[in-house]
Structure 1
Amino acid sequence: MADFSHLQDFLQPVSRVYLNNDQEYDAYQIGGVIDIYEPDHHPDLEAAQVIILGVGEERGSQSGRTGTSGPDAIRREFYSLYNWHREVKVADIGNLLSGATLADAYAALNAVLAALLHAKKTVIILGGSHDLTYAQYKAYASQQWVIEATVADALIDLQEESPARSDSFLMDMLTEQPNYIRHYNHLGFQSYFVHPRMLETLDKLRFDCYRLGKVRENIEEAEPVLRNTDLFSLDINIIRHMDAPANHLSPNGFTGEEACSLARFAGMSHKLSTFGIYGYRPEKDKENLTARQISQMLWYFMDGQAVKQKESPLENRDAFWEFHIAFSDIDTVFLKSKKTSRWWMQTPDKEFLPCSYADYLLASNNEIPERWLRHQERL
């Protein structure tokens, strides 16, 4: 594990007492068990599986500010929840210190994340504006790790003409060379906010974009996408205003329960190593409802982590039901986990691709699942 004294140069501790208004946390609350970087305590990062990092940097957005009020507001709500997942060890390493410039903030986030990724930790980033996703990606690029990235956002941030970095960061992330993104998924875009040619461009690159309505038809179809994801970035503008009042973009979006499902799917992924939640502006919140929504998403992410620990590796075939199927003259194998009921399908290169029960049903009816076809096109 990277020496915490080195990471400490980039970090500002938090105060458990401040977050709980001078009260003690109950031993069963998350605030009572989480290992926190406080002025008089360094967390044991070796023991932690999941690490929380606050990054209140907003200079890449229209607000142009930086601070810790957003991450701390989410912490205040999260720490008050009851801990049902004692097998998941969580540490909070405080807030990223704001550098002199936005570039300094990116560099600091890159350095901290790279050290934690190298130590094989799962990191939750409490943002901050959505352009911090770029620094989240650069932590992988600095390690030369080729990854699959998924962004959940009502918008597609490819607007090169915008002066705000948060509106255009995807352009650099997807096109700069050398590039370490093997595949990109976009979840929950709202069509009326997105230029049609933007979607055409992403489709030509064989990237997968899932419209809000399509994902809401069957939220379970998002689980295989997140199961295969290394980097997950979520802008709270995907949650409808009613359930997240700090989202002023649209009255439409995912419900709070659906957003919790996405967070749980992310937590269940064996591949996922960074999960950024961006776009929370506490000054736009109403009665801390959005902070509570995000805190409950974090709770469900931990629930997913607990489920992940129960899953057997694919090599242990006794833990899976095996189904041999032929569709369109292609012989393949589907696996279903006996523990979690998740599905995988074998591709011609003998790899197993995460899929859903719906894909199995299509193959059983001699139809080619779109997920299988898209994978083959990319190859």
Structure 2
Amino acid sequence: MDLDFLSPVSAALLESLQGLNEQSVGAGLKIHTETSGIPELDDVQVAIIGVKENRLAGTEDEFLHFDEIRASFYKLFPGNWHINIADLGDVERGDTVEDTYFAVQSLVAQLVKKDVIPVILGGSQDLIYAQYRAYDTLDQMVNLVNIDSHFDLGDAEKPISNKSYVGKIVVNKPYNLFNYSNVGYQTYFNSQHEIELMERLFFDAYRLGEVSSNVSLVEPVMRDANLVGLDLAAVSSAVVGGPYYNSPNGFDGKEICALARYAGISDKVSSFGIYEYTSAFGNLGNMLVAQVLWYFLEGVNYRTNENTTSAKKNFVKYQVPIDDEILVFFKSPVSGRWWIEIPFLANANTKLKRHTLLPCSEEDYLDACNQKIPERWYKAKRKNEI
């Protein structure tokens, strides 16, 4: 693997953490240091990478580093985990933003191909564009989930920024995006034009209030995601504790950690990014990011690998007649989770044919029994027909 883009974890940080409890997360990590170099990844399941890029957030004069997050995270204790984790250090700013994108895209693609899940600690959220472009070489359609108070569609005709990267993902070739789901949007931060555009494109959007009332609502959405991005501005300012964000509404600490765990436990999620970090975060904000990272890893540890062909053979099948359709549901006897089959067309993009089961909830099955078609099934079917 070509990991030359990476600089080691700060020696000063590692020195300050001498004497860590031998049971702590940090004591068990494989860490990229100046003296030992980049660790071997043959038995690693998750790799942490910092990306010091924030120019397109309008904070380019800020020197970005992740020592405080790492210090908070290393001191935590793991759960009863059976995964190996590496901290590969940081991607420094390139001469241009595009140079940074190239480095991130290359690293994520290499790690995903090696079945290592990259977890990106990033500055501006436009880095999701590079995270997404890493899938260009993987021959699959991609489902992107974004935990964000904004849709970030922006104007695709204008230069990319941390508020317009989704528009670029939609319109730029190659066209790998099958679905975009926003979790936690706040209506007053999004124009009616963007809200209507989300509906026309059959994308999924879940308001903050919906998710806060029932966080498990988005578990099937996370289960269908290939990559997940988290905008830290989606968290209430009171929870983050720093002066950078000034919105009183947003997810609280327990909710954002629950969402991170759902992303981690998803068998399909192969990369995860935490964005819009700033050095203005105080101890409270840094500990929150460390705990979000902890919960994602907790989820990864408890994956059940139900995407495999052998696992699906054991699913229980249910058929529900509704209108002119027969909806076909499947339930895992192991996890109790549900899926619904999407009837792909014969001339559909061949990249889609491997994804015939759409994660859903038991409530979707019960609704179908009461002659109500699940909205996500309808949207997925319509996208396939376009």
Report the TM-score when normalising by structure 1.
Answer: 0.91
Q: Deviations over 1:14-70 (max 9, x none)?
A: 14762462422222110000111111223121111111101121111111146442x
Q: 2:58, 2:159 → 1: CA distance?
A: 8
Instruction: Note the C-alpha offset of 1:251.
Output: 0.6
After alignment, is 155-164 or 51-60 more displaced? 155-164
Q: Within the alignment, does 1:12 sit opposite 2:7 as a pair? A: yes
Q: 2:219, 2:61 → 1: CA distance?
A: 35
Q: How many residues align?
A: 371
- Partner SS for 2:229: strand
Preserved contact between residue 10 and residue 67 of structure 2 (Cα < 8 Å)? no
The structure 2 residue matched to 1:274, chosen from 271, 274, 278, is 271
Point out where structure 1 has 5 or more consecutive residues left out of the alignment.
Answer: none
- Partner SS for 2:20: coil
Instruction: Note the C-alpha offset of 1:85.
Output: 4.0
Q: Deviations over 1:335-357 (max 9, x none)?
A: 33233222112233493210012
The 1:20–1:345 alpha-carbon spacing in structure 2 relative to 1, beyond 3 Å, is farther
- Partner AA of 1:238 in structure 2: A
Q: Which residue of 2 aligns with 1:219?
A: 215
1:365-376 correspondence runs (5 A): 365-376=370-381
Instruction: Note the C-alpha offset of 1:248.
Output: 1.1
Q: Please tell me the root mean square deviation across aligned C-alpha atoms, in Å.
A: 2.3
Q: Which residue of 1 aligns with 2:146?
A: 151
Q: 2:160, 2:14 → 1: CA distance?
A: 32
Q: 2:160, 2:177 → 1: CA distance?
A: 23
Report the identity percentage.
36
1:57-206 correspondence runs (5 A): 57-65=53-61, 67-69=63-65, 71-160=66-155, 165-206=161-202
Q: 1:166, 1:318 → 2: CA distance?
A: 43
Instruction: Note the C-alpha offset of 1:323.
Output: 3.4
1:283-302 correspondence runs (5 A): 283=280, 285-286=281-282, 288-302=283-297
Q: Which residue of 1 aligns with 2:352?
A: none
Preserved contact between residue 149 and residue 185 of structure 2 (Cα < 8 Å)? yes
The structure 2 residue matched to 1:31, chosen from 26, 32, 42, is 26
Q: Within the alignment, does 1:331 sit opposite 2:308 as a pair? A: no
Q: Which residue of 2 aligns with 1:353?
A: 358
The structure 2 residue matched to 1:46, chosen from 42, 45, 60, is 42
1:294-333 correspondence runs (5 A): 294-309=289-304, 311=306, 313=308, 315-316=310-311, 319-333=314-328
- Partner AA of 2:360 in structure 1: C
Preserved contact between residue 62 and residue 164 of structure 1 (Cα < 8 Å)? no
Instruction: Note the C-alpha offset of 1:163.
Output: 7.7
Report the TM-score when normalising by structure 2.
Answer: 0.89
Q: 1:66, 1:116 → 2: CA distance?
A: 29
Q: 2:261, 2:68 → 1: CA distance?
A: 21
Point out where structure 2 has 5 or more consecutive residues left out of the alignment.
Answer: 345-354
Instruction: Note the C-alpha offset of 1:306.
Output: 1.7
The 1:171–1:330 alpha-carbon spacing in structure 2 relative to 1, beyond 3 Å, is closer
Instruction: Note the C-alpha offset of 1:115.
Output: 1.5
The 1:144–1:318 alpha-carbon spacing in structure 2 relative to 1, beyond 3 Å, is closer
Q: Deviations over 1:265-321 (max 9, x none)?
A: 1111111111110011122x23x1111111111111111112214657464357544
Instruction: Note the C-alpha offset of 1:13.
Output: 0.5
The 1:276–1:121 alpha-carbon spacing in structure 2 relative to 1, beyond 3 Å, is same
Q: 2:225, 2:159 → 1: CA distance?
A: 30
